[in-house]
Amino acid sequence: MTDILNRLTLGKLPLTYRFLFTSFLLVVGLGLCMAGAQIMLTHGMADGKAGLSMDDIVYSYYGNRSGSKMEAALTGKMKDKAPPGVNITLIKWVRNDAPEAEWKTVGPLLEQNCGKCHDAESGLPEVTKLDVAKSLAAVDHGASIGSLTRVSHIHLFGISFIFLFVGLIFAMAEFDRFWKIILITTPFAFLVLDVASWWLTKFWPGFAWFTMIGGLGYSLAALVMFGVSFAQMWLPRWTQK
């Protein structure tokens, strides 16, 4: 059995299996691209500027402790969603510790300018509710322990299964054994580093670098495995042996 597995290479697979593996890799690759786009549209806008930066990572996990999430949004990615005068009024309310006595003025402004998007069906914070608005007006301490726990276990379970199947396919490639083992195990190591960096950054913002390194590490390893697998399944150099 071991001898059969050692002789089984991507170029010698039946056409049915090559199409199966190729379809899987294409869909997974598309999913990873969508994940990257989602990161750019969420964490990548944490500092109000396009593109992922160190500040984005720090604000997402450690928080912007010089201000609140609401003020950061009103001066950043949500700045153009309301007239300047409304933004100034809302920012003043936030900086004044969000007094309930002023809600009769602030509430209608949030309802008029934010209510259409921040409703119960959107999944976004319902800022038209006083308790939600006050929580967003508090000093931003980044991701909560609860949300970190939830996202961490989803990533560790879900993405590890992706790399398991990508690794199974790549294991059949004609590749130096030492480097094959390195490439197969690298995504798992960097995935653990990536998730661990979220927790470390939550308490020490200097660890935000590890988030960048973790994401870059498993992305590059996956890219090499994808490229080699596609090439050996379809290029004549391997398939005509």
The string of DSSP codes covering the chain is: -HHHHHH--GGGS-HHHHHHHHHHHHHHHHHHHHHHHHHHHTGGGTTSSSS--HHHHHHHHT--TTSBHHHHHHHTTTGGGS-HHHHHHHHHHHHTT--GGGHHHHHHHHHHHHTTTSSTTTSS--TTSHHHHHHHHSB---S-HHHHHHHHHHHHHHHHHHHHHHHHHHTTS---HHHHHHHHHHHHHHHHHHHHHHHHHHH-GGGHHHHHHHHHHHHHHHHHHHHHHHHHHHSHHHHT-
pLDDT value of position 191:
95
pTM over 0.75: no
pLDDT value of position 1:
42
pLDDT value of position 233:
94
pLDDT value of position 67:
73
pLDDT value of position 16:
95
Residue ranges, the chain, pLDDT below 70 = 1-7, 45-48, 240-241
- Domain ranges across the chain: 15-45+143-239, 66-137
State pLDDT tens for residues 163-182. Answer: 999 999 999 999 999 999 99
pLDDT value of position 48:
66
